[in-house]
Structures are given as C-alpha cells and as structure tokens.
Amino acid sequence: MRGIGFETTALCVSLLVGVTLLASGLATAQSPPPANETRTVDARDPDPCLTPAQYNATYGHTPTPTQQLATCTDLTYAAPPAHAATLTADAFAALTPGNATTSVAPPGANRTTRGLIADAHATLYAVHPATQIQLTSTERRQYIAPNGTVRALIDYRIRAPTGNRSVTDHAVREVRVSIGDELVGTAAGTQTPAIEYATTQGRQQPLTVTAEIAVTVGGNNTTTVTTQTVTVTDTRSVWIYRLRPTAYTATYPDGDTGLAVYQGAPWHGVTLTRDGSQRVRGVWRYYTARATAWDRLVVSRAADTTRRAPRGQPLGVVAFPAQIGPRAVPVRDGPSLPAVWGVDRASPAPGLHPNVSVGVVNESYTRSFGVALRNASVDPDQVRVHGVVRGVSAPLQSVTPTERPIRRPNLTVQTVSTSASTATIRITLRDSQTGDPISLDGPPPSPIEDDGPAGTLRLNGEPVELNYTGATTVTVTEPGLYTVEFEPASWRTTSPAYVAASESVRWHPLGTIGGWLRLGETLLWGAIPLVVAWIAGRQLGHLLSAESGP
C-alpha cells in the first residue's frame, strides 16, 4: 500500500500510533473481521484512503474507525493474528471447482493431460497456522505449525471418448498430504479437501499434496469398462516450526528475577502472567496479505480458455522486523529489557510488495534469537514462551530453565606501603561466599553460555589484571583518589555471576612522617638560594650606600 512521504512526518507518527493501538487490540482479542472485509486486512491492496461515503458505496456498510484507517495505511499486529486462517477458510468454502467439461486452476498450476483426463492439477491453497518470515529482501521462510490444516484445489476435465464409448464415472479417488517422507493426512472423494495434519518432522521439509484422479469409460453395448488414472502433485518447501528454547533464570541480590530465553529459529516473545499483562517480545511484528497467485482463476474447456475472479483469496501472516524493535509491556511498570542478541541481517524493505506500507526497519537489524529480561518477580508457573506461528507456545516449566546465581563480589582496596614519593595499593577480588578468586580471564563470551570471564576490573579507568589468587598490587606516584571498579559480565555469560562493585583509597605524600620530612628538606634546599640572594642584595646595598656618602 502507498508509503507516506517524509514531508508528512507528523501524519506518519499519528498513523503509526493509531495503527499500533488499534492493531494491538485486534491482535489481543483475536477477533476476525467479517468475511467481506478482506481488503481491510490485506496489506497488498492499494490504499485509496476512502471517505465514509466512499467506503459505504464500496462495501455496503458504514466503516468503523479501524476499517476507515485501513483504507489509508496497513494494519500491523503485535502477535500472529487469527483472522488470516478464518478468512482463508471462508474464501476456500466459496471456491468452486469445475465440472466434467471444465477445469479451474490458478495461473501457476502445474496441469497434466493424459488420455481422457485433461488439465488435471493439484494445487496447494493454504496451510494454517503458518507465518512467512521476511528475513531479508531476498530470503523468506514459510513456517508452519506441527499440527494444522492443509487446503488444496483438485480439478480436471474429461475429454470426450472416441468410438462407441461413454464416461460412466469420474472422481478424485484420494488426496494425500505428506511432509518429507511422512504421510500426515488423507481425504477421498473431494476436489476441495481440507485435511488436518500432524507431523513429527522438523526443520525444512517438502510439503506435497498428491491426488489420484480416475475416469471410467464403457462401451454403450458392452459391460466392459476401462479405468484411466492420473496422479498429480504440488510441492512447497516449508519449515516445521517447533519451539525448543533454552531458558536461564537468576535472582539478583535485591530480589529481582532475571530470565533469558534463547531459540535458534525466530520466535515471538514471553508472557510473564497468564493474562499477558506483562510481556516481552522480540523484533518481529506482523501483517496479513493475500496470496496474489489466486487473484485470477483460469477456466479451461475443450474449446477455449477464460479467466474469472474468485470470491476470495487465501490470506497469510507475514512477520517482519519492525522499527519499533523489541519491547516490554507495560512500558513503565513492566519488566526491563537489558539485552537482545542475535544475528545481524540486512533490511527486508526492498523486497516488500510495493503496496505494503508497514514500519519495517530500513537498515540492518538484529534477529532476536535471545532476549533477557529483569522483573521484580517471575512466577515460573505463569511464564509462557510464544512462537511466531499462531498457537505454538510452551510453558517455561516444560523448558526446564537453569538457575544461575548472582552474588555480590568481595572487592578490597587498601594501601599496603607508602614512601615519600610512591604508594603501593593492593587489590583483591574474590567470591563473597566461597572465597575463591574471581576469574577475569577467558575467551570472548557467547550470548547464553556460562564460560565467559566474570567481568572487568579498572583502576581509575585503566584495566587491572589479577594473579591466580585473585589479587594484585599497583604502585602509584601521583597523589589523589584511586577508585577500583568491578564491571561484571552479564549473568547470561558466566556462572556464578556478580553485581557491580567499587572501592576507593586516597594517597598523598603528606599523609606520612617521611612525606613531611621530604617536604621540609625540599623547602630547605629551595630556600638556600633565596637566602643567599637576599644576603648578597643587602651587602651590595651597604656598599653602594658607603660609596655615595660625603
């Protein structure tokens, strides 16, 4: 849909806020719009920005504020919406296949003609629940739930038999759906099967719809019959979406709870309460769009081929990286979001349909493989991890989160020796519970493992290295305040983890007897030239006075 120019920034912000609020409500309520409002939720439609009168003339009823807004821009959703499956089911129910002399197919169907069976095809209509991920401008993935519904159109036409023969029967004998090498569902006797499936497969797999079409002919004056069969297929590449996250929890010394969740495949977010009032989501946001391959239908007959418009098209859910980015709700009183990590990818904006106008990132973005949050309390019995495919979620308890301790470090800083010109400062950093030295060495940490260094130690901003006992000494020559700061690594990357700590000491040479003696010696040696010059000046003055006398 039409983009909004830079010169209308204020309007863009207003629309974005309005769409966000309205869409969030829609996504939460999961209330599908009526079947005649497909255009309201189709992001690939143009945006004429209809007035209420124009909307009424087009759709036959007065628009709601959301419906009218949707004619000017595109609705986006904070969670995978349910109405895509509902509207697809309605459109599929209105899809009418041809008769014995007519075959109906979308333009891209792979049609087969053999013997008496012509223009036969099996074409996948839609799979739900499903979400297409727009990773980059050239990379997309179609994720489907492990359990769902496959819809397909099977059609053909019968060519007139030659000789003294006639068609006695024709039908779609069987329709099979397989994912990989696993048969997941079947149907018989229908040209518009809606097949429920359940698969044990994972990752990327071919989803294949196979139909067997049979035609039986017999002689008009004989009992001999002949059956011809044709098998037609349609295959799409899909990714089976399974939520298999890794989760870690931690308790901060102040009582707050930390939770980190990592999932290799794209995932949506975490709800901390059963009603979803406290939640965190990653970079993904959603819109719905029709499958343009079904915009027109090809009607094939023996004499000609025509085209007609269907009564509806399948509607799909598309996830895109949003400019709004990862968010925690509620904004002020909800959980904080200290870290989001993942792989950096280029913006998918150049690959979007020209009519799609959503708040997609314009520059590179970080796929939110992992999200870390901090909240005053987290009840594991209420926490649920949600995927980018509608209905795919997992309770935190089923993930078996690993608890990681967070402790206060024992940081000591003291002056162990001084002289008139230097001071030696001793620094120790140890675990407050075990007394073991805290290691600051190690390879760069990975985002969710526990093998990284515990943090960094600095003396007045300069890095400090500890020995194997967790201690070191530093000699300083400049008087002043010396502050040692321990900056801990994230609890996600080390175990046990620690909170920040700092200690200070002050040193000045006058703080010791030797310092005062050195100061006196310095002043004495500095005063000798002054005294000599003063005496010489007085003597010179006396001489000059004597020479100028009477």
pLDDT higher than 50, residue 15:
no
**Can you give the C-alpha Rg of the chain in angstroms?**
38
pLDDT of residue 22: 36
Q: pLDDT class for 177, splitting at 50, 70, 90?
A: very high
CA–chain centroid gap for 419, Å, is 59
Of 231-240, 378-387, 426-435, which range is least confident? 378-387
Can you read off the two tokens belonging to residue 346? 């280029």
Cα–Cα distance between 383 and 378 in angstroms, integer?
7
* Contact between 31 and 76 (Cβ < 8 Å): no
Residue type, 253: P
pLDDT higher than 60, residue 23:
no
Cis peptide preceding 496, ω within 30 of 0: yes
pLDDT higher than 70, residue 460:
yes
Give which of 91, 38, 37 is closest to 64, Cα–Cα: 37
Cα–Cα distance between 33 and 66 in angstroms, integer?
11
pLDDT higher than 70, residue 1:
no
Q: 137 vs 93, which has greater pLDDT? A: 93
Cα–Cα distance between 462 and 294 in angstroms, integer?
65
pLDDT of residue 29: 36
Residue type, 477: T
Q: What percent of the chain has pLDDT over 90?
A: 42
pLDDT higher than 70, residue 436:
yes
Buried b or exposed e, range 352-387, using 16+ CB within 10 angstroms: beebbbbbbbeeebbbbbbbbbbbeebeeeebbbbb
Can you read off the two tokens belonging to residue 337? 């979001």
468-495 mean pLDDT: 90
Which helix (H) or strand (E) segment is 397 a member of? helix 396-399
Cα–Cα distance between 82 and 33 in angstroms, integer?
10
Greatest mean pLDDT among 25-29, 116-120, 271-275, 490-494 lies in 116-120
Q: pLDDT class for 8, splitting at 50, 70, 90?
A: very low
**CATH class of the domain defined by 408-511:** mainly beta
pLDDT higher than 80, residue 307:
yes
Q: Tokens 């913006």 map to which residue?
A: 347
459-475 mean pLDDT: 92
pLDDT higher than 50, residue 136:
yes
134-157 mean pLDDT: 94
Average pLDDT in the chain: 84
CA–chain centroid gap for 220, Å, is 66
Can you read off the two tokens belonging to residue 86? 């509902």
Q: Tokens 């620690």 map to which residue?
A: 498
| Tens of pLDDT, residues 237-288 | 999 999 888 888 888 888 888 888 888 888 999 998 888 888 888 899 999 9
Cα dist from 254 to 280, 282, 433, whole Å: 22, 26, 17
pLDDT of residue 516: 53
pLDDT higher than 60, residue 409:
yes
Q: 108 vs 510, which has greater pLDDT? A: 108
Can you read off the two tokens belonging to residue 324? 């709004």
Neighbour tally for 181: CB within 10 Å = 9
* First vs last C-alpha separation in the chain: 114
pLDDT higher than 80, residue 149:
yes
Give which of 237, 173, 244 is closest to 210, Cα–Cα: 173
Read off the pTM: 0.76
pLDDT of residue 546: 63
Can you read off the two tokens belonging to residue 385? 């991890």
| Tens of pLDDT, residues 357-387 | 788 888 888 888 888 889 988 888 888 899 9
64-83 mean pLDDT: 82
Rama region for 255: left / alpha / beta (φ>0; ψ in -120 to 50; rest)? left
Buried b or exposed e, range 270-296, using 16+ CB within 10 angstroms: bbbeeeeebbbbbbbbbbbbbbeebee
Q: 354 vs 159, which has greater pLDDT? A: 159
Q: pLDDT class for 21, splitting at 50, 70, 90?
A: very low
296-324 mean pLDDT: 93
Three-state SS for 85?
helix
Cα–Cα distance between 269 and 383 in angstroms, integer?
11
pLDDT higher than 80, residue 449:
no
Q: pLDDT class for 224, splitting at 50, 70, 90?
A: confident
- Cβ-based burial of 160 (10 A; exposed 0-12, middle 13-18, buried ≥19): exposed
Q: What angle do CA 519, 520, 521 make, to 5 degrees?
A: 90
Cα–Cα distance between 431 and 326 in angstroms, integer?
34
pLDDT higher than 80, residue 398:
no
pLDDT of residue 3: 38
